[in-house]
Chain A
Amino acid sequence: MNNQYYDYIIFALKSFKSRKLRTFLTMLGIFVGIAAVVSLVSLGQGLQKAITEQFESLGANKLMITPKGGFYGMGSSVVLDKDDLKVVKHARGIRNAGGFVSKVASVEFGDERKYTWVSGLPQDDSKEIISDISSFKIAEGRDLKKGDDYRVLAGSLIAKGDFFDKKVRVGDKIKVENKKFEIVGILEPIGNPQDDSSFIATLDSAVNLFGGKEKYATIMAAVVEGEEPSKVAESLKRTLRRHRGVDEGEEDFSIQTFEEVLDSFSSIFLIVQSVLIGIAGISLLVGGIGIMNTMYTSVFQRTNEIGTMKAIGARNSDILKIFLIESGFLGMVGGAVGILIGVIIGKAVEFGAAQSGLDIFKASFPWYLILGSLAFSFIVGSVAGVFPALQASKLKPIEALRYE
């Protein structure tokens, strides 16, 4: 039995060889489609993977408390202040919590004045919660510490000279909202241009800059090890409600676990990716129709041959298999080349993105993408071959032989 299939495959290959041009063109149709799908999926997967990993390694047991309304809580009439932070810190199941502030401020270096995000991070023991999530790492100089008023850390693009005309170095002086600050450290690239061209100061000096009142953009809380973050979030919601004197369902703040953030992100991502893949998949459909066409032609041209095979004892099912395997092969070989090209395109885009500062863009090629596209292209080929193969298998030997 195995031997028989081997023969079918050999047969298919021989048939391709004698119709090189047509085979090549048919496969070209498939591999253009597969290349498009593979490169889109790989870039999408890569992006999602990078973001998920970042979230999971850093935010798994953390909660995010923001004022409701406004633009991510900014510009909202609701204020989360020191009292709220204290309540969060002492709530059941919370290990520690810290709040930070973040605004767009004017920044001057030399003769240049620009506007960018300036954040104020607490320097007490809650510091690690926030710097973990934001994945800040010091590349040069030193980190901020308690009492470091009027000292800042600068994002990597600022140090690279992509923000101001001149490169900013450790020890340089800048002005934030007309107050002098000294740069004590440079951050490693975080991956997106907005974060990488922002400044980080201590909470105290940032609060001073922003008008003196401590109004947190976000409070980050770490959950005690072993506690379920979603359950802690529920009980924290009750506690904060009581503290702020609001009824259930009328919360003026929202508490999100990172799982929720990740879920909502993933579902948006899934929609965008499905649309793109769906549109790219249209070309696979067209490629499949090309295979069908080639197979019809092939059946047509080999009518005599089919007659001969039938006359010497080939059954309908044998003929069917011969043509199905031939068209499946057309699809799969096209798929293999397509995957290769897709990988190259994915890597090229990754390289291009990295050049423009989007380090987070990594093309990813999980095994299921490769195997899946191979299987899919084989299926596209076989399905496209079904009608022509059926037609071939049903030919009557006498008619087939009479055909010229």
Chain B
Amino acid sequence: MTRELTKPLPRNWWLKKAAYFRFMMRELTSVAVLAYTLLIVWTLGSAANSGGFSTLYAFLSTSLSVSLHVVILALALYHTGTWIALTPKVMVLWRDDERVDPDFIAGVTGISFLMITGATIWLVLM
């Protein structure tokens, strides 16, 4: 019986290749978005219960809060981009016997995302 060598994956495998790093960032950004969502729900709940929305508004206009939201926005956009890129992999459409161009599907998904986001912002600011 020959002895076979097995080489376990090192703990820092995701630092060994740019593609692995981008994958890990995609996964971690989802954690950040979830954490932010929970924080917002908790903050709004606390403010509503204590009737202290003015304190919340004051915090939201600080440079710390603005910086935090810029970072969260960047993470959320990165994560969204990965899903838009994934869409044509899952949504394989055919026009007669010809596959619809994956870039077209990703483009339509991206434009839809921008339009829905724009409409949501418009509704909130109205």
- Is B one of A's binding partners? no
* Residues of chain B having any CB pair with chain A under 8 Å: none
* Residues of chain A having any CB pair with chain B under 8 Å: none
